[in-house]
Structure 1
């Protein structure tokens, strides 16, 4: 048996994201002991039962003591409080990272919570997910061939950034680097806005007096468009508020697009409508081809 890369890993949040991270590292023999921390005793007990974690953490000092790596995989609004609870017990040599879908607010919270220990925090965001959550949703290969964006701080040691990157690469992920501001602007457009739209559409239909009839005839197109509305409302509330400026900018641009499309529809301007549809079809096809070329599943790393 190979010597684990990480003797002790502590995970705050043992659901889809944190649980899949632990599962992948355990599968590769890259971690010794995984300690789980969380608000829900039932979730913690389930994670222990499933073998995602080896211990349920209680006392913070004891949980953090001797940890090589700490992953905060909780809703972004909780990040500041979690980091503040970690800070007094954070020893030299322990690296902390997160899996939050926003980064500027997380960095601000980390600076406020960790103070002069900020160099030990390497912000990150795995670009992978499913509409299910909780420990039962965790899978070994969630990150295989998927991007993980790191947004390193000026204070971070290169070796600490590499430690975080190595953990994600062991899970099969492909590492990308952005600044926190770049990250938030990009994901407001391609992740946060789509979630807002999917939630809004399903909510709108659900509130109609004949909702039962509408849902009866909703088929695969509706299912595919609204799949992400099955995601955690709490998590996406936090993400929406955390990235409010960038999300508002993208939402305003989308509303302008809808207004223009509505005007074309009202005027019976088929050419204008078709032009929008054709441009979207071409752009989507190019995007799909680029993903298929760039995100070929990474081979499993050797556990030797």
Structure 2
């Protein structure tokens, strides 16, 4: 393996995230063979037909043997178990990285499993859609998006540079954070919005009487706002539980904001509502 060319990449979990990473690196000419590892034969067949992977297997041992880089793209609460199963089959010097949306608990679970000659570079591409599976993968998913890397004192410098270069080649701006900062930031900008979207669909569904589903009347605004509630429930269950402390803290903050709006509506305080909405609009406009 040259400094920035990967002769064999193993993707564990060939869905939107893992599949798009493979396609982006293929398009950039930075990877030789891509082997996909997963449980569902139909999904893996789709991945091979789309050119996401060159070969696939259901066996972790077979998939990672001889791999220079292994990308973990399974739900966050499975990452440690998957790592424990594949570590005995990795070659010395192999680089292990992940795309998990939670970093602190993942790092704490994975690093003790690794021998000194296996290099772990924790990462999280901040990109995605509500779609899942290999059929949803596309090479440009990461273009113009950020990928956060959260190295630890154990992270090998050369492995870090390799993973950084791969994400840059995929089109991402690489940002470096501590795992703790990552989990606080993502709790607010990603995890909370998903919780709100799921809760909003549930709340509105329960607003009608027993003979009517008012969701049938939903239009563009509601559908756009709740799009992410179509995301994979397994993935978001695992994220919510794995980033529990930071997520609960930001949910508390959200509840206070919602309580303020509720109080001002109850009080008929139009001036306060206007000021609240204006401030939120200005903050939203500033980021887009």
Q: Is the aligned partner of 1:121 residue 2:143?
A: no
Q: Is the aligned partner of 1:154 residue 2:135?
A: no
- C-alpha separation in 2, matches of 1:130 and 1:99: 14
User: How many Å apart are 1:30 and its aligned residue?
Assistant: 1.4
- C-alpha separation in 2, matches of 1:42 and 1:216: 33
- Corresponding residue of 1:275: 275
The number of aligned residues is: 286
Contact 2:4 2:166 in 1 (8 A): no
- C-alpha separation in 2, matches of 1:156 and 1:204: 44
Deviations along 1:115-148, whole A, 9 cap, x unmatched? x348611000001000111111000100011100
Q: Is the aligned partner of 1:204 residue 2:180?
A: no
- Corresponding residue of 2:28: 28
Structure 2 residue runs of 5 or longer lacking an equivalent are none
Structure 1 residue runs of 5 or longer lacking an equivalent are 289-304
The 5 A counterparts of 1:10-21 are 10-21=10-21
TM-score, length of structure 2 as denominator length? 0.94
TM-score, length of structure 1 as denominator length? 0.90
- Corresponding residue of 1:132: 131
User: How many Å apart are 1:244 and its aligned residue?
Assistant: 0.4
Residue 274 and residue 89 in structure 1: after superposition, are their counterparts in 2 closer, same or farther (change >3 A)?
Answer: same
Contact 1:119 1:157 in 2 (8 A): no
Partner of 1:139: helix, strand, or coil? coil
Contact 1:100 1:124 in 2 (8 A): yes
- C-alpha separation in 1, matches of 2:10 and 2:131: 22
Partner of 2:287: helix, strand, or coil? helix
- C-alpha separation in 2, matches of 1:287 and 1:81: 38
The 5 A counterparts of 1:1-304 are 5-114=5-114, 116-117=115-116, 120-210=119-209, 213-288=213-288
Contact 2:37 2:59 in 1 (8 A): no
- C-alpha separation in 2, matches of 1:118 and 1:220: 52
- Corresponding residue of 1:292: none
